[in-house]
A = this chain, B = another copy of it.
Amino acid sequence: MPAPHYGQPRYRVIAAELRRRIESGVIPPGALLPAESVLTVEFRASRGTIRQAIAVLRETALVVTEHGRGTYASPHPLGSRATTGARPETGLREVAADPELAALFAVEVGTALVEQQSIDRTNGVVEAVVRTYRLLRPND
């Protein structure tokens, strides 16, 4: 059985399902996701596909994966966090929507948004800084 993919690509369907589990609390914040091998069995997908699905979630900072450990659901505390004083290079922040973001999210200017900043390094050199903005309360 080759790889028919009517409508949405398989990895996006899987990503959507995983996201649903995280946002619905089936996979609580901070918890470890099932291993790739487990997911391949459950979704009957290849490793690459599973990894691609997880990559989608990682883009929106919904999960964090640590080399040699696994992939965690991001704790989205948003109100707790007491940092060490020095601002962490990567992390969550609450910011006010600028006019452009407000228009995109269909909210009023100044509405609080969650900003997740992550840094892409290669050999220690900063290649890119990625800032992802989301609503505190998704309108799903």
Report which A residues bind B (CB closer than 8 A).
16, 59-60, 87, 89, 100-101, 104-106, 119-120, 122, 125-134, 138-140
Contacts and interface: CB of A to CB of B under 8 A. Distances in A.
A106 B87 CA distance: 16
The count of identical subunits is 2
Contact of A125 (B100, B131, B133, B139): B139
28 contacts: A16-B122, A59-B120, A59-B128, A60-B128, A60-B130, A87-B100, A101-B129, A104-B119, A104-B126, A104-B129, A105-B129, A106-B126, A125-B139, A125-B140, A127-B134, A127-B138, A128-B132, A128-B133, A128-B134, A129-B132, A129-B133, A129-B134, A130-B130, A130-B131, A130-B132, A130-B133, A131-B131, A131-B132
Contacts of A140: 125
A60 B127 contact: yes
Q: Which 7 A-B pairs have the closest CB atoms?
A: A129-B133, A131-B131, A60-B128, A128-B134, A130-B132, A104-B126, A128-B132
Contacts of A128: 59-60, 132-134
A74 to B, nearest CB: 13
Given A60-B130, A130-B131, 16 more contacts: A16-B122, A59-B120, A59-B128, A60-B127, A89-B104, A101-B129, A104-B119, A105-B129, A106-B126, A125-B139, A128-B133, A128-B134, A129-B132, A129-B133, A130-B130, A131-B132
